[in-house]
Structure 1
Amino acid sequence: MLDDVRILAWGARHAIRLGATLLERAGAQVTFGEARPRDISAYDVIVVSSDMSPANERSAIAELKAAGTHIVCDITATGPQGARACMRGTDAQIQAISGLMDTTGFAHGEPVRIGVPFTEISAALYASAAIAAAVRVKRSRGIVQNIDVTLFGCAASALTTFLPTAFAQGTVGRVGNRHPACAPWNAYATRDGWILICTSTEEQWRKIKEVACVPQLGDPRFATLRERVVNVDELDALIETWTATLTTAECSLLCERIGLAAGPIVSVAGLSGEPNFRMRHADAAMQIDTQGIDSDTYRRVPIFNTSRLTDDTCATPHASPESAAHVPHAGPLAGIKVVEIGQYTTAPLVGKHLAALGAEVVKVEPPDGEVARSWTPGQAGTSYFFALNNTDKQTIALDLKQEADRAHLSAMLADADVLVENLRPGALAKLGFDRDTLGKINPRLIYCSISGFGIASAYPGRPAFDTVIQAMSGLMDLTRSAGEPVKLGVSGADILGGQAALLAIVACLADPARHDGTFVEISMQDVAAWCALFASGNREGQGIAVACIDGHVWLESDEHVDAASLAAHAQQARCSGETRASAVAALAKAGISAVPVARVHELIEDGDFLADVLSVARDACGAFWPVIKVPYRLSRTPARVRAVPGAPTRALAGRFAALAV
């Protein structure tokens, strides 16, 4: 992967430290230094955070960028341009100004800081993938370039479930642990804890009614999904009369037996006793049991695993020429061919970024198209959500239960470099595409499987939604509103799982010595638990959200100021009677760091968001779509977001069609 790549991690941000761990996992030799070493020539890549550096170091970083002798990756809060240029923002402050914080929490409560440094983690993942892409370019084309990654851009990129409402000029609100379009879907109290239960179909609703044996659930108010969403308060209260009679384990077992996505809300300390975590990470579980969680416990949990695609050592690898790689200004992955079989967020996010980096990506959809296409809001029959997650792809509709369509997929895979999917574990094998078969079709294929609990799992048959993974990984335990666990407003487990897959795939593609096929396994629970363990062992400073007349402001402390003191300062500044802007100014005079908590729909009028994050793409009919730029900038081979796919075709001209842009 990144073997023989020498990296200097030189900076104060969490993203630098986390990125170093990720790059080591990908095979790089990483040195962590607080100060610039004397011999810079010993390194290929230098990772910095210039906004956190003193003036003399910022000058040295600028000189390194200008010299063009090293790949320099600069991770900052907001980047060097715009109204917030060079803001030394903390993770929580970026959560606030990006709208991320306002999506987390209950409708009746305050905005909630995500309990892990989400923007720092996201920046570390994206930066590591961008570094791998830059290494590939240097190895194949001799081009050395700089990379800029912003926490603000990473936060905004995570808002794909909320931005569609803003695009349609709607107001985005917090939903707690509920789903805005499905019910029942919530965290429910049990006799000894909490359980997260998610239903999305009428069949699942019928099953939960049968096992709950609560007569009132047969009321006409709950007869349809729409009526259940409208009457969700009454529905949730009735569901909890059932869950409260059971232990969490009993309720989880019942739900698994009837095929519902459900799981307990596990504490971070309780991860060592969570069956799937303990099975997959016995070493980490033992340390938690015997020594507790320290600042390095997270390093014992790998966020991706790679192995040979097959055990067949006699396979004859075929060449996969990348003729487009030498086109001037071509993306880092020009010439790479990708097949994506995915839906919703995880695999589509991977395919979107591979396409932005220059790969040809063909998305395989079911005969009627991906379900998310029809979500509202959108335009011309396609949802904004689908458009945001599937830019720059060719799409094809295949019924993989039909022999002819499986043959078509097989022909595509024979020419592909990468296959990425987020089907239920074993689903692709049942269709005739197990690892051995894939290895025979294409001995050099990189096959990436993303699932909730991994291939080797204590829950081989359990369905997994993002919210369930958040519950079972410690993320919800760390994210609380008035003491009650609450999920991240964004699809955090899905997004982080997709980012881990992106890094692993690009790192594989950066390896010039790769001959055999590679199997990449991503467990979303692994990735989310890695984040939770890091946050638990590396605590952040305290902060509070305070109400103003037009929203909230986020107050943050250093180690000498506790939450009670912050609240007293907010009262003295009379924040409740001030606008956010006035409150921030008043608190600044008192020496208290505060930023406004932005609402998602307000981003559409935010100059920095419009300049640095939002872009416009076109579909095949020439219509314009709002889309999101990638949050990493490669200076000489940039990633580009250009086109929104039309309806899936039934056949492609050849195995891979040229991207229509």
Structure 2
Amino acid sequence: MLEGLKVLACGARDAVKLCATLLERAGAMVDFAAADSMDYDVIVISSDMDDAAGWKASDASIVCDITATSPQDSRSGTPWSDAQIQAMSGLMDTTGFAHGAPVRIGIPFTEVSAALYASAAIASAVRVKRTRGIVQNIGVTLSGCAASALTTFLPAAFARRTAARVGNRHPACAPWNAYRTRDGWILICTSTEEQWRKLRQEASVPQLDDARFETLSGRVQHVDELDALIETWTTTLATDDCTRICERIGVAAGPIVGIGELPREPNFRMRHAEAATSIETNGIDADTYKHVSIFEASVLSQTRAEREPETCEEGSNAPLAGVKVIEIGQYTTAPLVAKHLAALGAHVVKIEPPEGEVARSWLPGQGGTSYFFALNNTDKETIALDLKQESDRAHLRTLLADADVLVENLRPGALAKLGFTRETLGAINPRLVYCSISGFGIESAYPSRPAFDTVIQAMGGLMDLTRSDGAPVKIGASGADILGGQAALFAIVARLASRREEAGAFIEISMQDVAAWCALFAAGREPSRGQALACLDGHVWVEGDVTDAERAGCITLPKKVAAQKLAQAVPVVRVDELLEDGDFLADVLSAARDANGAFWPVLKVPYRLAKTPASVRAVPGAAQGFRRAPPAPARAPVPEDRPA
């Protein structure tokens, strides 16, 4: 992918180290100290933590600066930590239990996210330099990355509502929670009435037949009683036995895997035998995460074709102008990838089912389209196809014939069953870059197990590291979905930046791989100290140790006042409060129009390319289709991907 690229990584932030690791994984040669004899293609710095004076793009070097906030932010120049950015951005307030304090995410989420976005932005800039001779600076902010992860919570804020923390529950589905077993914890996630019926029959708890639990709304309303009854069943079983039962009846479930237990987790061990052996032999250290790959790339098929000369669309200065992308995606992962490819200038065609993607109708929204769908699908052309019909499959084949990228997050094998195997795709278009995103990967110990974001967080070690008063809790944002999508984005853009003239590529993303990579990185570093303290109107996050007097003193103070009185303290901002924050409104939030001229709140991308900027411009209208079904009934927002 990026073979021959010379990179200097000389910033103190975790994001710089992780970005360098990602570029190295894609084939670049990385130095962590400048060598006098080398000219670098890319230099990665963190100017708010280091003396980076003089590092600007030259005739030869792209410079990527990863900072906590942008230069225009009123808080710029301060080396804010990951935890402080989590608190200031609204991200921390989304994680934790409903009646508990906000919880710091157990991995340095904004640093990891910044590394992934920075790597994709660098690959874009490398492509621009190679094809057009333009060298430029790049800026990436942790605060922008945090905001980009809030797409399941911002819709409520746009509707002037506050989205409460839900712990391991789901705001619109039940049962959906972490339950104790005889020897640990298990996540059980039901999303349909059929799944609930099968789970109730398997549990054989008479009280579950109560009329209160007959409907979804009743189960959500009486969720405390429901969860208590479910746990009377799960506590009689070993975790593995309970997981096998759920898999047999088609209910998404999985154990909460401790970070030290990853080597014994069957899918992790199958896919990362070297890492599993290293952990068993040497434990987890600062380099263990490097043994886990967040993507696998291979040749799409044996059919080869010469690549057509790359061209830039007339009037466009965007990095991926002239690139055509087909997305067969839903909810978060694949739509996130294609959204950023579109922002970078690609022409994205999104394939939806005849009735449109279900997420279109979630509440809240406007004009029959949800804010969630709008945030995740900007700048796409949308087409409705029924891929069970040969005529529509033929139309897809026509679209793929001149495409550069296909990205999808269907269940493994689903596209192949429709006649689009890797070999078939290679025959249709030998130069296609095909990216498949799934929960456990194509080669998996769980070929039939459905995967939700929550289950992947549990089985990838993320929940073990994120705890509230000792209890494991998921990242409030759909962390496994988001990080998996970011990994796919980097892999695709790195492939598009490749110098090699070769056959098309197959890129595989397992969200569990990405989650484990993040968790192992966090487990291998010195843990930072800090805690959220209750205040009169919320909480403050304080770095380091806290005295009893400081804790008691905060209770009677507004959080802004408490933050001013305590060293290393910042307010824990609610997501709805961001809409009154001048820095958020100026640097993160933007407006886009749909085909009818209506304005929509959207998010700017968290990376800035100085000379060939990415931009968010429009919200898609209704999908153009051949046999449109009646609109789906409105549904509450679901902050998870459906089974991947």
TM-score grouping bracket, smaller chain normalisation: over 0.9
Deviation string, structure 1 residues 195-234 (Cα, Å, up to 9, x no partner): 0000111111111111011111111111111111111111
Task: Look up the match of 1:335.
Answer: 322
Deviation string, structure 1 residues 246-290 (Cα, Å, up to 9, x no partner): 110110000000011100000000000000000000011011111
SS in 2 for 1:196: strand
TM-fit CA distance, 1:323: 3.3
SS in 2 for 1:50: coil
Task: Look up the match of 2:53.
Answer: 59
Task: Look up the match of 2:570.
Answer: 595
Q: Distance in 2 between matches of 1:300 and 1:7?
A: 20
Task: Look up the match of 1:611.
Answer: 586
RMSD: 1.3
Map 1:541-560 to 2 at 5 A.
Answer: 541-557=528-544
1:570 paired with 2:550, answer yes
Q: Distance in 1 between matches of 2:69 and 2:207?
A: 52
Amino acid at match of 2:106: G
TM-fit CA distance, 1:2: 0.8
Task: Look up the match of 2:504.
Answer: 517
Task: Look up the match of 1:86.
Answer: 77
| Preserved CA contact (<8 Å) 1:580 1:596 | yes
Task: Look up the match of 1:656.
Answer: none
Q: Distance in 2 between matches of 1:296 and 1:281?
A: 15
Q: 2:434 aligned to 442, 447, 455, which one?
A: 447
Map 1:301-320 to 2 at 5 A.
Answer: 301-310=292-301, 312=302, 315-317=303-305, 319-320=307-308
| Preserved CA contact (<8 Å) 1:584 1:595 | yes
Q: Distance in 2 between matches of 1:570 and 1:486?
A: 26
| Preserved CA contact (<8 Å) 2:252 2:455 | yes
Map 1:17-416 to 2 at 5 A.
Answer: 17-33=17-33, 38=36, 42-53=39-50, 57-61=51-55, 64-65=56-57, 67=58, 69-310=60-301, 312=302, 315-317=303-305, 319-325=307-313, 327=314, 329-416=316-403
| Preserved CA contact (<8 Å) 2:45 2:52 | no
TM-fit CA distance, 1:13: 0.2
Task: Look up the match of 2:422.
Answer: 435
Deviation string, structure 1 residues 24-56 (Cα, Å, up to 9, x no partner): 0111111112xx6545x6101100000001xxx
1:581 paired with 2:581, answer no
Gaps spanning 5+ residues in structure 1: where?
558-562, 653-661
Task: Look up the match of 1:659.
Answer: none
Amino acid at match of 1:213: S
Deviation string, structure 1 residues 478-510 (Cα, Å, up to 9, x no partner): 000000000000000000000000000000000
TM-fit CA distance, 1:86: 1.4
Gaps spanning 5+ residues in structure 2: where?
628-644
Q: Distance in 1 between matches of 2:210 and 2:498?
A: 60
1:633 paired with 2:624, answer no
Deviation string, structure 1 residues 380-416 (Cα, Å, up to 9, x no partner): 1100000000000001111111100100001101010
| Preserved CA contact (<8 Å) 1:544 1:567 | no
Q: Distance in 1 between matches of 2:30 and 2:602?
A: 35
Task: Look up the match of 2:624.
Answer: 649
| Preserved CA contact (<8 Å) 2:6 2:30 | yes
TM-fit CA distance, 1:644: 0.4
Runs (4+) of structure 1 exceeding 3 A deviation are: 36-39, 318-323
Amino acid at match of 1:47: V
| Preserved CA contact (<8 Å) 1:322 1:334 | no
* TM-score normalised by structure 1 residue count: 0.93
Q: Distance in 2 between matches of 1:287 and 1:569?
A: 45
Q: Distance in 1 between matches of 2:100 and 2:468?
A: 7
Q: Distance in 2 between matches of 1:569 and 1:504?
A: 50
Amino acid at match of 1:610: L
| Preserved CA contact (<8 Å) 2:116 2:487 | yes
Task: Look up the match of 1:658.
Answer: none
SS in 2 for 1:538: coil
Amino acid at match of 1:6: K
Task: Look up the match of 1:560.
Answer: none
| Preserved CA contact (<8 Å) 1:320 1:417 | no
| Preserved CA contact (<8 Å) 2:307 2:501 | no
- Identity level (%): 70
